[in-house]
Structure 1
Amino acid sequence: MTGSAWPELLDRVRSDIPALLADFLEELARLDGYAAGVVPHDDIERTAVGAFEIFLARLGDTDDAERSAQFSGELGRKRARQGMRIDQFMEGVRINFRVLWRALHRAAAPDLVDELVSNGERILGVVERYATEVQAAFLEESQLMAQQRRTARERALAKLFARDIDSASLAAAAELLGLRADATFELVALPGADDPRVIVTAQAWRGALLHVEGDVALLFREREGRSAAEPDGFLAQPGAHIAEVRGVDSLANAAALASALTRATGGAEPTSLREGFAQLLRPDFATLIAGFEHEVVGDWHAAPADERDRFTETVRAFVRSGSIQATADDLFVHRNTVFKRLRAFTRLTGLDLTVPRDAAIAMLALPLGPSGSAPAVSE
């Protein structure tokens, strides 16, 4: 219990609130966040007076607990919504304390200094309680706002990749995400959306946005003036890369294409549309020629499996470069070996890989894609 001198000291401080407010506003005006005018002046004055009244009520055991807790919570939440940083906000709260402490010292001199000293622990408890309340409310509101922003962004991303969205909704989603509707984007589809490497990759690719559809992670960003053919390391792990997506209204189709390409190639290595188009088209091609494969690839299926594997390796390397020497270098064999294998392949299948039409047939009908994709035609 405190004697009559303690309420008298608090009454002296209470009568000094106009001076407290002036001191507080002067010091607060130099603080980042408040100095920028983020918080209206009348808001600052009103909450400062309210805080001083709560301090004095709690120090004098005349506090309305429900009302003061509501004030602390509303203040913390409001400052979070006004966009202040936690360090700026809590420094403002500390200014409150410093001003109050100076006011207590002024009011205690010269006759009530002992009373002030004897209530030091009480003052510290009130200060800590108030600071804890406003900080907790600020952090809780900040987390809620962050979750709301994440939810809004996730919804906007989902709209970008919806196939049946109207143009107005698409434009609104792009605006929320800070995307230019007419920008040119690049997009990758990465297999294994739950793979931790996907998040690491998303963070490493500057400016990329991440959206997950099923088991495929979609990453996309503006090309920033780079030409579509310019390599930039955007795709550095297994997946499919669409290099030039013109406008946000093309993102959904690009995502569907990249996802299909990832599935077709098995997602075993970085693949562009040009590199993987044969694997992408092979299932349809196989369906069309089912029962007539011999018309297209001759006696391919009659050859022993090890011979077909050798041909596949050689043909894959040759159609990639079109060069006998480059093929020999890739396979670490003599160029004459490449010649012999290609001639034997022609005798077996009737396909001459130096003829563009035959090379295209070989790419569609045989397992020539990256990492030895399974053949599309039946044996």
Structure 2
Amino acid sequence: MRGGAPAVRATPNVAVIVGTRPEVIKMAPVVRALRASTSVTCTVVSTGQHRDLLVRAFEDVGLVPDIELSLMTENQSPSAFVARCITALDDVFAQNKPQAVLVQGDTSSACAGAMAATWRSIPVGHVEAGLRSFNFQEPFPEEFHRRVVGVAAQWHFAPTPESRDNLLREGVPMHRIFMTGNTIVDAVKQMDVSRPFENRLLDAVPEGRLALVTAHRRENQGESMRDIARAVKRLVAAVADLQVVLPLHPNPNVRGLFQQELGDTPRVHLLEPLSYPDLLKVLHKSTIILSDSGGLQEEAPSVGRPILILRERTERPEVVQVGAGILVGTDPDLIVKEALSILCDPVVYERMVTVPNPFGDGKASARITEILESSLCEEADLPVMSMVL
């Protein structure tokens, strides 16, 4: 037996990759939990995929990235960004040598992070694993991205039973799937919405029923988005006390269309993108949400508000299955019909806002952290929290 003190084990490091505002918001609770851990450390890497929105997103959640890559360029294509991102992340991994890489969802940054880590033989954890639309074109390129990450991942952190079952059907071994809930619920619960609105224009929105409307998806741009605007105009004409808050997406094609179609419509408030605290405050004040956003499909039931999903299909069918949302696409007649049903029938409204949240209990980040601690620390004897849904 050799003498001397036992070797000191290095604390495992987890590299957390983010590049867009939704990633920052959804990964913030995970980063906080990892940084509070005594068993692992955490390095936050920002790719700068959506540079203009990222600075504000980090401020909203009170985090600062450890490494900033600033890879965004004007009019970037997904393929060009992914190529730059893989090269840059490969350098980061070579220098920092993380023991695990954590990516979230279905962005170009997540796809590049998973690929770069795999080529460095670094295990990948996928937060929000198993979502599927089963159509590579809707949403594009997100459905492709999440499939690529799914192939690379060692830990699949599935938010719901539906997403877990999708992974099982694809042949992912059960022992690599962990049903954790969705970290968006953690983020919503952790955000302080007691502060005044930062955007003072929101204080000028008159009292009454409020509809939050957002639209930006690539597959909706053009005539479909014009149909959404027409539906909004018809709704405010039909409901005398309805106010509409519509934050404009930075994409000039999207904002230009809504400014053209709704710029002079009474009771429609076209605003610049909202900070996350302001968005959640508007959500809490809203009577109804109309959106093609994936995140708002999760946030709406998390604050008990009904949502009309402005898409033809969704990779989050749970919100429809439990009755918290309705898939309406961009048909103006259907949008108006379903919105009026919610706004004018108290029974319909009450039924939609009292269903249980299908996305979990707000403890997903703690579960993810415990699973990583247990997996990365050979000597750890830590209980792994289970999620019952």
What's the TM-score once normalised by structure 1's chain length? 0.24
Higher alpha-carbon Rg: 1
More strand by share: 2
More helix by share: 1
What's the TM-score once normalised by structure 2's chain length? 0.23
